[in-house]
Amino acid sequence: MSTDVFAGLDWAVHTHAVCVIDGAGTVLDRFEIAHDREGLAELMRRLARFGARVRIAIERPSGLIVDALVEAGHHVFPIHPNAVKASRPRYRSHGAKSDASDAYLLADLLRTDGHRWRELSPQSDSIRALRALVRSRDDLVATRVALGNQLRSTLETFWPGAACIFADITSPIGLAFLKRYPSPTSAAKLSEAALGRFCRSQHYSGRRSPAELLARLRSAAAGLAGPHTNEAAGQLVRSMVAVLLPLVTQIAELTRRIERFVESLPDGQIIMSFPRAGHVCAAQILAELGDVRERFPSLDQLAAEAGAVPVTYQSGKTRSVAFRWACNHRLRQAITCLADNSRHANAWARGIYTSARARGCDHPHAIRILARAWLRVIWRAWTDRKPYDPALHISAQLLASGEGG
């Protein structure tokens, strides 16, 4: 580790300002990088000039750039924004702020007060592996959704019935049907008996009978395309189905792998203990939460990282509250998914959601309120390394409301 070199990184949405100083506070290097792959590579190259393991101060305890620095072997020290704000008068009296000056401030705070900050520990190999699996699956699911929308849009232009015969067009049976019957011409003589045999061959477990499915197919609006257009559209359907079939298979395989993996992790058992958390949702939460407790020493930091609390802007008598756009979007999606699922199985969660809706909150806002409430419980269980205990949770709620003994 370079003991006489200190770096400060002022994080922003699109670009990051970096300042490197020596033990006397003299600036050795100052530059900006973009928040993309090339920018991260440039950051690693510039830091490598000062040693393989550089001390770096940053205001964020987590995120892509923090993970990249930690995994590269650098020593990362998160400094709370309030500490940075309180330290600015030490460096300038005019009150002006810039990314470059804050980068220097962070580096110098690490130089002079480094003993006060705690270094981030790298995530375990298990968490890094789980994160790779979960994020890859999420990206494949996004691709499947996009291709599924494209397939549905194509069908609705020339054969609307095929888009609605099964509930999910990208399900295995939906894709198998389109592979066999890619156009109205190929299904012109499809009978109830033939459709029944097809459903049995695909192990169809839906509640619709072959007669109902065939009625769906026939009752939909008829396409008005000519024979050449139908043939061309049928080829497009075959092409998209050929891409979607292996994609759906690989998503299913990744899902099974993730389910087995998260079950094997102690922290996975903690997250799965929450109502309707399931395996995949729990894995998504744990992949972003990690197993290094120092990353989120307080509930407020975790809630902000998950985007479950709004941003308050206040200046003088002016005060406004806005949606928090800058957050870990994967964590927010996973936490809100758990919150939405939990209200169907947990009376406490259902009460918070119902109360929020009664106050006039729309569904997404009410779910974020519930997610913030669940985060308090999740953070405590994760911090204490104990699974969720509904009995203890109910007792705590009664005590807080004054109804307990």
Residues 168-219: pLDDT tens digits? 999 999 999 999 999 988 998 899 999 999 999 999 988 889 999 999 998 8
Strand-pair category, 15-22 with 27-34: antiparallel
Residues of the chain with pLDDT under 50: 1, 403-405
The residue type found at 299 is L
Give the integer Cα–Cα distance in Å for 353 and 159: 41
Give the integer Cα–Cα distance in Å for 220 and 328: 42
Q: How many CB atoms within 10 Å of residue 187?
A: 21
Asked if residue 19 lies in contact with residue 26, where contact means CB atoms within 8 angstroms, the answer is: no
For 186, residues 6+ apart whose C-beta sits below 8 A from its C-beta are 180, 234
Residue 352: predicted pLDDT: 94
Give the integer Cα–Cα distance in Å for 341 and 345: 7
CATH architecture, range 126-262? Orthogonal Bundle (1.10)
Give the integer Cα–Cα distance in Å for 56 and 53: 9
Give the integer Cα–Cα distance in Å for 107 and 253: 46
Which residue, among 373, 387, 372, 382, has the nearest Cα to 272 in the 3D structure?
A: 387
Residue 62: predicted pLDDT: 67
Give the integer Cα–Cα distance in Å for 164 and 207: 15
Give the integer Cα–Cα distance in Å for 179 and 239: 9
Place of tokens 């300002």: 17
Q: What is the CATH number of domain 5-116?
A: 3.30.420.40
Give the integer Cα–Cα distance in Å for 66 and 56: 10
Domain layout of the chain by residue ranges: 5-116, 126-262, 266-401
Residue 245: predicted pLDDT: 97
Q: Do domains 5-116 and 126-262 have the same CATH topology?
A: no
Strand-pair category, 311-315 with 27-34: unpaired
Q: How many CB atoms within 10 Å of residue 126?
A: 17
Residue 400: predicted pLDDT: 57
Residue 3: predicted pLDDT: 63
Retrieve residue 45's tokens.
């190259």
Which residue, among 34, 29, 33, 19, has the nearest Cα to 91 in the 3D structure?
A: 19
Sign of CA dihedral 282, 286, 288, 289: positive
Task: Give, as one character, the DSSP assignment of residue 49.
Answer: T
Angle at 291 between CA 287 and CA 295, to 5 degrees: 100
Give the integer Cα–Cα distance in Å for 83 and 101: 15
Q: What is the pLDDT of residues 242-274, one digit of tens each?
A: 999 999 999 999 999 999 999 999 999 999 999
Residue 395: predicted pLDDT: 61
The residue type found at 108 is D
Q: How many CB atoms within 10 Å of residue 285?
A: 27
